């Protein structure tokens, strides 16, 4: 007999329709949540998306190629996520497991719809079925291993890693989705009783069936299958609806930010006089003065703490954590969900203090290590520009600027003594003419 299985086997027609209804509701909730986030990002300074989409196909492709490359290499290939021990390993397992399970579920639905058109189009059988089932079992195990490793890391998380109560919910839901998925498979093998390769191609389900369900009657197996199928389905639909409201938003905002972030991170864009004349401002005083891409990047941040660990100011107990700056700005962005008058979504003072901004050495270490191309130094320098423009500069930064104005150097030395500090140091030979 050709190995295969019915997609909605043992599930009544009524249950299928309820399932599809709930799937539409979950997708609508997901779309509504995402729409609300996009509405927040759009309140920033426009980044000329329309211009990026204009022109001939050739022009558009050449404009989007670098972004698409970054999505492929840094998103799908996880290039910037690697190199952080347990967390990178856990993410690799979770990510690859998730992507393969997502692809597998999509193919299953395609097969189901194709089968409704004509039974000749049904392709979920034979060799394809065997490869499919074994692959999904394998990646399901990797997915569960990633969840367990992340749960362990969350229990013993380093102080630099951020934490929200919903993080437990996300990992627990992933774990429950994986476990109930395998239980459904075990129960299905129990009542369907496939033979030979039709059973062994689902090794985890077969193991569950022979180890834990031994001695169950067909009626019990079928009832258990329906109950677990519903638990599994409701968990998956709940997860879809929850994506925009949890840290999982990063797997939409992350790749988008990878594509849209400037290629030269950590480079300070010059102040354009036309823009100053048009807007009457320099730098960022209200969170909406950031660009749309910068606001998007606040949602891409996963609070992994890499930037904080790399920051020399944080390491020397200065009042600066780049991760906290990003998260505090994100908090202000969220206040834009209800209309806020221009200038009142302020980001200075209680949100990000001047002492925090001036503690930054602008070394760009934070930006270099960020796995999703958030640019904390770029955000900080825009905030500083505002302070300078407002004349609210104090401390060593103010003194240095005054000296630059009066003596053309930050130490306030007379021009003849400016180079004195180099005396006695070994100088590189002067370049030959
Ligand atoms: C699309 C590209 C993605 C990128 C660049 C990315 C990047 C990251 C990074 C850097 C972290 C922090 C890891 C750490 O603490 O060092 C993270 C956390 C996480 N990612 Fe992703 N991710 C992506 C997609 C996904 C997908 C598709 C999933 C779905 C399973 C996922 C699930 C998670 C979860 C659950 C966490 C939090 C784990 C915890 O509790 O600490 N990510 N991601
Ligand atoms: S800004 Fe980047 S490096 Fe820093 S916590 Fe957020 S994701 Fe991690
Ligand atoms: S640029 Fe500033 S915030 Fe970033 S690592 Fe250097 S000192 Fe820290």
430 occurs within a structural domain: no
**Cβ atoms of residues 354 and 367 within 8 Å:** no
Tokens of 421: 């500090």
pLDDT digits (tens, 9 = 90+) for 219-250: 999 999 999 999 999 999 999 999 999 999 99
**Cβ atoms of residues 379 and 388 within 8 Å:** no
Query: Which of 258, 277, 310 is a domain's end point?
Result: 258
| Structural domain of 398 | 262-413
Encode burial over 91-112: b for 16+ CB neighbours within 10 A, e otherwise: bbbbbbbbebbeebeeeeeebe
Query: Which of 258, 287, 314 is a domain's end point?
Result: 258
208 occurs within a structural domain: yes
27 occurs within a structural domain: yes
Q: Ligand 2: which atom is nearest the Cα of residue 305? A: 5
Share of the chain above pLDDT 70, in %: 98
CA distance 154 to 156: 5
Tokens of 198: 């039709």
Tokens of 182: 């395998």
Collapse the DSSP code of 370 into the 3-class scheme (helix H, G, I; strand E, B; otherwise coil) and give the result.
coil
Place of tokens 């399901």: 140
> The domain that contains 70 carries what CATH number?
1.20.950.20
Model-level pTM?
A: 0.90
Q: Does residue 360's CB lie within 6 angstroms of at least one atom of ligand 3? A: yes
Least confident among 142-151, 197-206, 265-274, 334-343? 265-274
Q: Does residue 258's CB lie within 6 angstroms of at least one atom of ligand 2? A: no
Mutate to test the pocket of ligand 3, among 316, 317, 377 (most ligand atoms within 8 A of CB): 377
Q: Does residue 144's CB lie within 6 angstroms of at least one atom of ligand 2? A: no
pLDDT (0 to 100) of residue 432: 57
* 321 and 405 belong to one structural domain: yes
pLDDT digits (tens, 9 = 90+) for 70-86: 999 999 999 999 999 99
pLDDT (0 to 100) of residue 159: 95
Q: Among positive and negative, which fits the CA dihedral 408, 412, 416, 420? A: negative
Mutate to test the pocket of ligand 3, among 266, 376, 397 (most ligand atoms within 8 A of CB): 376
Number of domains present in the structure of the chain:
2
* 226 and 283 belong to one structural domain: no
Place of tokens 């990026």: 52
* 407 and 318 belong to one structural domain: yes
Going by CA atoms, what residue is nearest to atom 8 of ligand 3?
311
Q: Cα 64 to the chain's mean position, in Å?
A: 20
* 127 and 147 belong to one structural domain: yes
* 120 and 136 belong to one structural domain: yes
Kindly state the average pLDDT of the residues 29-53: 94
152 occurs within a structural domain: yes
* 74 and 181 belong to one structural domain: yes
Which residues have a Cβ under 8 Å from the Cβ of 358 and sit 6 or more positions away?
A: 384, 395, 396, 397
Q: Does residue 247's CB lie within 6 angstroms of at least one atom of ligand 1? A: yes
* 219 and 362 belong to one structural domain: no
Mutate to test the pocket of ligand 1, among 82, 95, 149, 309 (most ligand atoms within 8 A of CB): 95
* 227 and 290 belong to one structural domain: no
> The domain that contains 267 carries what CATH number?
1.10.1060
Q: Does residue 265's CB lie within 6 angstroms of at least one atom of ligand 3? A: no
Q: Residue 433: is its pLDDT beyond 60?
A: no
Give the closest ligand to the alpha carbon of residue 380. 3
**Cβ atoms of residues 136 and 32 within 8 Å:** no
Q: Does residue 191's CB lie within 6 angstroms of at least one atom of ligand 1? A: no
CA distance 288 to 269: 18
Give the closest ligand to the alpha carbon of residue 384. 3
pLDDT digits (tens, 9 = 90+) for 344-366: 899 999 999 999 999 999 999 99
Report residue 7: phi and psi, to 5°: -65, -50
Q: Cα 306 to the chain's mean position, in Å?
A: 14
CA distance 233 to 216: 23
* 202 and 312 belong to one structural domain: no
**Cβ atoms of residues 276 and 232 within 8 Å:** no
Q: Does residue 301's CB lie within 6 angstroms of at least one atom of ligand 2? A: yes
* 42 and 23 belong to one structural domain: yes
* 279 and 343 belong to one structural domain: yes
Task: Please name which of 167, 96, 177, 181 lies closest in space to residue 133, comparing C-alpha atoms.
Answer: 181
């Amino acid at each position: 007999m050709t190995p295969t299985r019915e997609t909605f086997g043992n599930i009544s027609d009524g249950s299928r329709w309820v399932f599809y209804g709930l799937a539409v509701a979950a997708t609508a909730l997901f779309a509504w949540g995402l729409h609300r986030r996009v509405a927040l990002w759009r309140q920033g300074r426009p980044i000329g998306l329309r211009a990026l989409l204009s022109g001939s196909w050739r022009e558009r492709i050449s404009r989007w190629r670098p972004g698409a490359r970054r999505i492929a290499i840094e998103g799908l290939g996880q290039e910037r996520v690697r190199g952080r021990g347990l967390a990178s390993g856990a993410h690799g397992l979770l990510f690859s497991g998730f992507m393969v399970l997502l692809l597998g579920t999509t193919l299953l639905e395609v097969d189901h719809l194709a089968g409704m058109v004509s039974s000749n189009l049904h392709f979920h059988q034979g060799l394809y079925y065997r490869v499919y089932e074994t692959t999904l079992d394998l990646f399901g195990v990797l997915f569960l291993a990633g969840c367990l490793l992340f749960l362990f890391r969350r229990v013993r998380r380093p102080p630099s890693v951020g934490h929200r109560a919903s993080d437990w919910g996300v990992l627990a839901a992933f774990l429950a989705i994986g476990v109930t998925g395998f239980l459904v498979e075990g129960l299905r093998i129990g009542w369907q009783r496939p033979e030979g390769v039709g059973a062994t191609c689902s090794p985890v389900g077969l193991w569950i069936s022979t180890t834990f369900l031994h001695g169950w009657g067909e009626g019990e197996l079928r009832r258990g299958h329906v109950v677990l199928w519903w638990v599994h389905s409701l968990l998956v639909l709940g997860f879809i609806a929850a994506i925009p409201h949890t840290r999982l938003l990063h797997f939409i905002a992350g790749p988008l930010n990878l594509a849209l972030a400037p290629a030269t991170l950590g480079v300070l864009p010059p102040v354009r006089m036309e823009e100053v004349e048009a807007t009457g401002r320099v730098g960022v005083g209200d969170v909406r003065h950031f660009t749309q891409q910068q606001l998007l990047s606040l949602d891409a941040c996963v609070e992994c703490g890499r930037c904080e660990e790399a920051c020399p100011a944080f390491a020397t107990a200065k009042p600066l954590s780049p991760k906290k700056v990003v998260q505090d700005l994100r908090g202000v962005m969220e206040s834009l969900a209800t209309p806020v008058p221009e200038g009142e979504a302020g980001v200075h003072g209680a949100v990000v203090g001047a002492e925090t901004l001036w503690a930054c050495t602008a070394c760009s270490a934070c930006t270099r290590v960020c796995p999703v191309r958030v640019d904390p130094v770029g955000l900080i320098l825009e905030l500083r520009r505002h302070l300078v423009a407002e004349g609210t500069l104090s401390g060593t930064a103010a003194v240095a600027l005054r000296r630059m104005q009066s003596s053309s150097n930050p130490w306030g030395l007379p021009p003849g003594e400016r180079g004195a500090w180099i005396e006695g140091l070994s100088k590189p030979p002067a370049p030959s003419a």
